[in-house]
Homo-oligomer: A and B are copies of this chain.
């Protein structure tokens, strides 16, 4: 591929709109010179095969890796071998302890008026039904707001059913809105006396594979059985409800808390030449939900960030150390991110970024940089534009793994991936290798390579920011 970045820069310079650009853009420090070296790295990364090899390996040789289980431990061992083989320095596992919840039997059957089995999966932290199951009438709520509006005590002995259907958005923002039914619906239902709750999977598919995911009960609230119905099954149940007769559902769920077990983060480094310039922290999470093989969530994220760092590793030593962290136990509550901060609070992190939104194309750049480092954002925008990445108008927010670090005032960069397809597969049995498009994955690696090349070598000091 040609380095079209220079063409873009030339066009910008000639633009009659140039005079209208905001102040910081006139400060560009000879961008063409900077971009020349970055563009070469970036364009070579469009042919990256390292990231796909990592995803293929993790999904084939390890598979699901639920946090705190022996499968996650196997994934850590696998990762150390892989990262050392790639040539990373200081490769190590940093362990910590965490409580572990595991699913058991999970079946659902409509008893009346229309006898049918439904597919569902227990939500993380769900309580269990009696061993013989729980049979009760459904209390139907089209949306989470309807559940919230139910009078106290009105759900006593019933199984709440919230059917809201998530739609996909490019920026993933619909997850928060529709996801409330899962995140806090079970807690609300429990507080109103429900015997159990089922929610339509928080997903944009029309399939039979339910979407797992975490839920949380407030202190003092006893967890009730809580599960996500596959979207097709929830829609079927909604149609039954629409017939107007009482619907009785039998649930058998036997998840359990198994106590405290070991989890861990896997750390690898590209050493920098200037220890005082600080650390650039990147990564994704190694653990996955247990229904699929965690290909898009988040083998892709660990693969993208490591593959990009590998490209810096193989070139001239960068100014800043790039630390790649494959975090443990993100899905079940972000234990890895907090453990990382606890272990590394005294080090100087200057920037953090994570990849945890699948394997589809990066479409937007957002940053949260101190004013003195704003030229870095300008250079990033110019370097990423040829990959079809727009400069966002907001601020970067990071994600669960780097949130603790960002919370200490560390600058951030988001390379936002498209969410149009992500929630079709996220947390489902369908999160498998075949959902990963190698070309889109390589575009991610190219974006991350360009970002790291710019950030790790930036001559500007990158100081603290107000956390977002």
Contact = CB atoms under 8 A, between A and B. Distances in A.
Interface of A: 56, 59-64, 71, 74, 113-117, 119, 206-209, 232, 235-236, 239-240, 243, 292-293, 428-430, 432-435
Given A209-B208, A293-B116, A433 B63 contact: no
B62 A208 contact: no
Contacts of A232: 430, 432-434
A421 to B, nearest CB: 13
A207 B430 contact: yes
B433 A236 contact: yes
25 contacts: A56-B239, A59-B236, A60-B114, A60-B239, A60-B240, A60-B243, A61-B113, A61-B243, A62-B114, A63-B115, A63-B236, A64-B116, A71-B115, A119-B429, A206-B435, A207-B207, A208-B292, A208-B430, A208-B432, A232-B430, A232-B432, A232-B433, A232-B434, A236-B293, A236-B432
A113 B61 CA distance: 8
Contact of A235 (B235, B243, B429, B433): B433
A239 B113 CA distance: 45
A440 to B, nearest CB: 15
A288 B119 CA distance: 18
A206 B113 CA distance: 34
Nearest to A431: B208
Nearest to A113: B61
Contacts of A59: 236
A407 to B, nearest CB: 36
A74 B115 CA distance: 10
A63 B116 contact: yes
Max chain B C-beta neighbours (<10 A), residue from A61, A232, A429, A434: A232
Contacts of A433: 232, 235-236
A74 B435 CA distance: 39
A396 B61 CA distance: 48
Contacts of A235: 433-434
Contacts of A434: 206, 232, 235
Nearest to A233: B432
A42 to B, nearest CB: 30
A243 B236 CA distance: 42
Contact of A114 (B61, B209, B236): B61
A428 B232 CA distance: 13
A239 B208 CA distance: 25
A114 B429 CA distance: 18
Contacts of A60: 114, 236, 239-240, 243
Nearest to A231: B434
Max chain B C-beta neighbours (<10 A), residue from A59, A60, A206: A60
Nearest to A56: B239
Nearest to A435: B206
Contacts of A208: 209, 292, 428-430, 432
Max chain B C-beta neighbours (<10 A), residue from A64, A207, A209: A207
A62 B435 CA distance: 33
Nearest to A110: B63
A428 B208 CA distance: 10
Contacts of A56: 239
A65 to B, nearest CB: 10
Contacts of A206: 432, 434-435
Contacts of A71: 115
A83 to B, nearest CB: 19
A59 B235 CA distance: 11
Given A64-B116, A206-B432, A232-B433, 5 more contacts: A63-B236, A71-B115, A116-B293, A208-B209, A232-B430
A250 to B, nearest CB: 15
A333 to B, nearest CB: 24
A119 B236 CA distance: 23
Contacts of A63: 114-117, 236
A121 to B, nearest CB: 13
Contacts of A64: 116-117
Contacts of A117: 63-64
Nearest to A236: B60
